[in-house]
Structure 1
Amino acid sequence: MTVAVEASLKEASSVKSFQKIAIGVVVLLCALVVFQPGIFPINSVILAISLMIVMCLLRVPVPIALIGGALVGAINSGLSVSQALEAYNSNLGAGAQVGMTYVMIGAFAVALARSGILDLFANKVTMAVSCGVSARGLKWGLYAIFVIVSVISQNLVPVHIAFIPVMIPPLLATFNRLGIDRRAIACVIACSISISYLLLPTGFGAIYLFEILLPNLNEAGAGFNLNIVAKQVPHAMFLPVMGIVAGMLFAVFISYRRPRRYQSSSKSELLVDAAKDVAPSPIALSQLLFVVAAVVVALCCQLWFDSLLLGAMLGFVILSFSGVFTWQQQDDVFTEGMRMMVQIAIIITLAAGFSGVLNATNEIPALIETSKAMIGDNQMFAALMMLLVGLFITIGFGDSFASVPILAPIYVPLALSLGFSPMATVALLGASAALGDAGSPASTISLGVTSGLNADGQHDHLHDSVIPTFLHANVGMVLFAWLAALIL
């Protein structure tokens, strides 16, 4: 065994040992709180959130981190275990509704993928890049295609990240020939996905803006007579989203504009050759019409009935009659889609319970008063701190959709009591919950980007996906959301 391999194994072993020790310390602290409530003179809301974040960073499964943090915080506040569980269970319903929407979207996405339309699109793009187009024009054309497809995947055809491992691998050899820095592509895709669901009110955007952000805002701000209507939410999110746009442009035009050389491996060449030589199964005209009808129905249900759940369900039913998959395969397709989205659905559901426990502790008002005493009347400092804390929390478990119900009970009353306008409050909460989503190691966005760009083993998840997307998506969003909070 070489010295380098031995050193790598020792390093990995030391990391695992530290992780085990840290988890042991966390378990011990939790036991102390359970057997001696109030042993730590700390606000129970801060304790619950901090414990949840620490467990997430230690790679404890997010559901366990949410439940464990909520129970320890509740017991520290004086609630009994049964009271804490009752508060948790009574709030699961709000998250379950969104979770079921995610499950149905997953089934619809898999059904669309079974149609072969994504494979056909990847093949057409691969053939197009092989034509005699100038390298410069080809490079910018690819960037434009990635932006368009990313937006479509979130708002029109809600397949989320499913298009990345289908579309990207056949193009890797072309990227190599053009000298395209894959970090730029990672930023383009990740930023475009974030822009789509944070601003455009259909598909996943409808879920985030209208089914998660809006009700949590009005519920948390009920004591301040806050009444936000749907059309105000995208307007409030416009400036923060422009920060992501600025970060994406900075990545493309400045950070990663220079050519980067990759090895033309046999694996990447085989991927592009396969895309050229093996044409996807042809889609019959009748099947194509069914696919178009399913997409149109899903979109219309979102616009007319404000229900992505209904749209995804009807889209799935339409595709069931198209012949894309047999009637006997319906259960398999639905189950596959459920597996794809079940993690997000569960986290969102449990996060709603977490939020309920934070309210049940009755220590949020005390936290708000303490925060106001520390911040004073300095809105600039307050807005910046709220954004940075939101960034830290979302990085912890990598999902902005689940961050909203955790942050809302604290952020909304705090922002309103500090004199922020309702629109500024929307921008602060919406941006704070979304910060870190594109740059978290556990985010579905960053994981999806890596799954496509690392098909030939030349794209590191941390250094080439997480760090670039974190810097370019989040720095710009912090600055522009900070500005939005001060001028809206």
Structure 2
Amino acid sequence: MNAVVIAVLAMLVLSLMRIQVVLALAIGALIGGLSGGLGFDKTIAAFTEGLGGSATIALSYALLGAFALGLSKTGLPELLVSSALKLTGKNGESKKKSMSKVFLLFIIITISVFSQNLIPIHIAFIPILIPPLLLIFNELTVDRRALASAITFGLTAPYILLPVGFGLIFHQILQEEMSKSGLTVDLAMIPKAMLLPVAGMVIGLLIALFVSYRKSRRYENRELTKDENTNSERPTYTKRSLTFAVGAILATVTVQIVTESMIMGALSGIIILFMSGSFTIKESDVIFTDGMKMMAFIGFVMITAAGFAEVMRRTGDVEALVEVTSSLFAGNQVIAALMMLLVGLLVTMGIGSSFATIPIIATIFVPLAQELGFSPLSTVAIVGTAAALGDAGSPASDSTLGPTAGLNVDGQHNHIWDTCVPTFLHYNIPLLIFGWIAAIIF
């Protein structure tokens, strides 16, 4: 049996058994390496070498966590909460309770979308916005699986469709890797090819919000972490503090775009917050430590996922999996397109990154699609959808780790069953179906 299949299945089974995802990835990598003939020593060497691949990303997330916690000292979250209270009523009660739920979900989706394209800060908004609103969502009896679905949609659909911010990076990687494999496509062609697959995600979002998780779900109103180490009261906002908060956000975004570094962006925001007097030198140690803790889980998972991916590449079974699967259905476009999408789903579920999946699959998929007579637009739809499949739903993806980090601050939201499984069902299945249709009709 193919080593990639064995490794990914092992990782997924362990995760579904509630084994911590870092351990599941490490064990899955070991199983995949051994079954792929690397042996113990080469598997460990490949895994170790791969760990460094995500170190920069992990540090970026840690600093964004510190920035988010520093931003909370300006009172900005309190303003968000007080605004939400005006909408829902003091205890979350409203004459139009259902409309309050829909409006808040719409705001979260909008901010999630902006975090990928208009203001590319990725998941850094989650620890700022979500925890302060949990008590309100509790009073509105909103199912957190709906919240996870809303956030994950905003973190994935925009970059798949729109060539702005993180979407531009995704589209450029797709264009470059397809060009290396023998098919030159115009960047403007990619949004056209991905429009139908993303339409499937929109349908999945509507089903999640208004069918699957529309019913009330009750949670305990648990106290969130207080500023015990600083012995301070909950931060209050002033015009000055909010001005600096906005300035720090703008600086973070601007520096990140100019330098193309999330690390430098987060550092610039932290420096402005410190200079504003939002927190003292004594408090800065606590803010940095707690902020990094908040995002450390995501960082460790991404580092481990990079090691897992490197082991899979070293086995050589990724290419073998694609070749064997596709050769079984050579000459049949309908079945071949479906199988290529399924292979993309399997690979991305294991790696946890659509961006990292493109180079792996484009090398084989592009020549195969040309041989089978697929049009350039259909080929873009196949490769793009195959890479995007699995980002939502993967235990190792920041598109699922981010929502869990925000929704589980009070310990009432499970990463696998409340984030990964709902997003897998509502986004990967529609992506698969609509991506398949796009590949056939384009």
Secondary structure of the structure 1 residue equivalent to 2:278: coil
1:96-142 per-residue CA deviation (whole Å, 9 max, x = no partner) reads: 22222222222222222232211221122112323987556545433
Change (3 A) 1:47 1:168: closer
Q: C-alpha distance in 2, partners of 1:335/1:318?
A: 18
The answer on whether the counterparts of 2:161 and 2:194 sit within 8 Å (CA) in structure 1 is yes
Change (3 A) 1:65 1:183: closer
Whichever residue aligns with residue 361 of structure 2, its letter is: Y
- Specify the alignment match of 1:172 in structure 2: 138
Q: TM-score of the superposition, structure 2-length normalised? A: 0.75
Q: C-alpha distance in 2, partners of 1:144/1:379?
A: 39
Change (3 A) 1:248 1:226: same
* Residues 1:144 and 2:91 are matched in the alignment: no
Q: How does 1:403-414 map to 2 (within 5 A)?
A: 405=356, 407-408=357-358, 410-414=360-364
- Specify the alignment match of 1:424 in structure 2: 381
Secondary structure of the structure 2 residue equivalent to 1:377: coil
The answer on whether the counterparts of 2:252 and 2:268 sit within 8 Å (CA) in structure 1 is yes
* Deviation larger for 98-107 or 224-233: 224-233
* Deviation larger for 190-199 or 310-319: 190-199
Q: C-alpha distance in 2, partners of 1:475/1:78?
A: 33
* Residues 1:329 and 2:283 are matched in the alignment: yes
The answer on whether the counterparts of 2:26 and 2:304 sit within 8 Å (CA) in structure 1 is yes
* Deviation larger for 462-471 or 164-173: 462-471
Secondary structure of the structure 2 residue equivalent to 1:429: helix
Q: C-alpha distance in 1, partners of 2:11/2:175?
A: 22
The answer on whether the counterparts of 1:172 and 1:268 sit within 8 Å (CA) in structure 2 is yes
- Specify the alignment match of 1:240 in structure 2: 197
Q: How does 1:103-118 map to 2 (within 5 A)?
A: 103-118=62-77
- Specify the alignment match of 1:20 in structure 2: none
Deviation at 1:214, TM superposition (A): 6.0
1:284-326 per-residue CA deviation (whole Å, 9 max, x = no partner) reads: 3332222111111122233333332221221122112121211
Whichever residue aligns with residue 170 of structure 1, its letter is: I
The answer on whether the counterparts of 1:400 and 1:434 sit within 8 Å (CA) in structure 2 is yes
Q: C-alpha distance in 1, partners of 2:334/2:206?
A: 26
Change (3 A) 1:227 1:169: farther
Which of residues 109, 112, 126 is equivalent to 1:161?
Answer: 126
| Count of aligned residue pairs for this structure pair | 419
Which of residues 69, 88, 94 is equivalent to 2:53?
Answer: 94
Whichever residue aligns with residue 418 of structure 1, its letter is: L
The answer on whether the counterparts of 1:161 and 1:444 sit within 8 Å (CA) in structure 2 is no
Secondary structure of the structure 2 residue equivalent to 1:161: helix
Change (3 A) 1:328 1:70: same
- Specify the alignment match of 1:354 in structure 2: 308
Whichever residue aligns with residue 472 of structure 1, its letter is: H
The answer on whether the counterparts of 2:78 and 2:236 sit within 8 Å (CA) in structure 1 is no
Q: C-alpha distance in 2, partners of 1:247/1:227?
A: 32
Q: Which has the larger radius of gyration?
A: 1
The answer on whether the counterparts of 2:340 and 2:382 sit within 8 Å (CA) in structure 1 is no
Change (3 A) 1:429 1:388: closer
The answer on whether the counterparts of 1:164 and 1:448 sit within 8 Å (CA) in structure 2 is no
* Deviation larger for 373-382 or 311-320: 373-382
Residue segments in structure 1 that go unaligned for 5+ positions in a row: 1-41, 272-278
Q: C-alpha distance in 1, partners of 2:34/2:131?
A: 45
Q: C-alpha distance in 2, partners of 1:410/1:114?
A: 43
Deviation at 1:56, TM superposition (A): 3.2
Q: C-alpha distance in 2, partners of 1:432/1:95?
A: 21
1:436-474 per-residue CA deviation (whole Å, 9 max, x = no partner) reads: 24999x94356357548x99x8x9998876665544333
Deviation at 1:167, TM superposition (A): 0.9
Whichever residue aligns with residue 428 of structure 1, its letter is: T
Change (3 A) 1:181 1:197: same
Q: C-alpha distance in 1, partners of 2:396/2:200?
A: 15
Residue segments in structure 2 that go unaligned for 5+ positions in a row: 225-232
Q: C-alpha distance in 2, partners of 1:185/1:53?
A: 23
Deviation at 1:414, TM superposition (A): 3.4
Q: C-alpha distance in 1, partners of 2:102/2:25?
A: 43
Whichever residue aligns with residue 124 of structure 2, its letter is: V
Secondary structure of the structure 1 residue equivalent to 2:331: coil
* Residues 1:192 and 2:144 are matched in the alignment: no
Which of residues 344, 352, 355 is equivalent to 1:400?
Answer: 352
Secondary structure of the structure 1 residue equivalent to 2:380: helix
- Give the RMSD, CA atoms, in angstroms: 4.3
- Specify the alignment match of 2:230 in structure 1: none
Q: C-alpha distance in 1, partners of 2:418/2:348?
A: 20
* Residues 1:434 and 2:396 are matched in the alignment: no
- Specify the alignment match of 1:473 in structure 2: 427
Whichever residue aligns with residue 73 of structure 2, its letter is: R
- Specify the alignment match of 2:436 in structure 1: 482
Change (3 A) 1:270 1:97: closer
Which of residues 272, 287, 295 is equivalent to 1:318?
Answer: 272
Which of residues 89, 94, 118 is equivalent to 1:130?
Answer: 89
Whichever residue aligns with residue 147 of structure 1, its letter is: I
Whichever residue aligns with residue 430 of structure 1, its letter is: A
* Deviation larger for 192-201 or 316-325: 192-201
* Deviation larger for 64-73 or 182-191: 182-191
Q: TM-score of the superposition, structure 1-length normalised? A: 0.69
The answer on whether the counterparts of 1:412 and 1:429 sit within 8 Å (CA) in structure 2 is no
* Residues 1:447 and 2:404 are matched in the alignment: yes
Deviation at 1:370, TM superposition (A): 1.4
* Deviation larger for 310-319 or 225-234: 225-234
The answer on whether the counterparts of 2:69 and 2:291 sit within 8 Å (CA) in structure 1 is yes
Query: Identity over aligned residues, as a percent?
Result: 33
The answer on whether the counterparts of 2:65 and 2:124 sit within 8 Å (CA) in structure 1 is yes
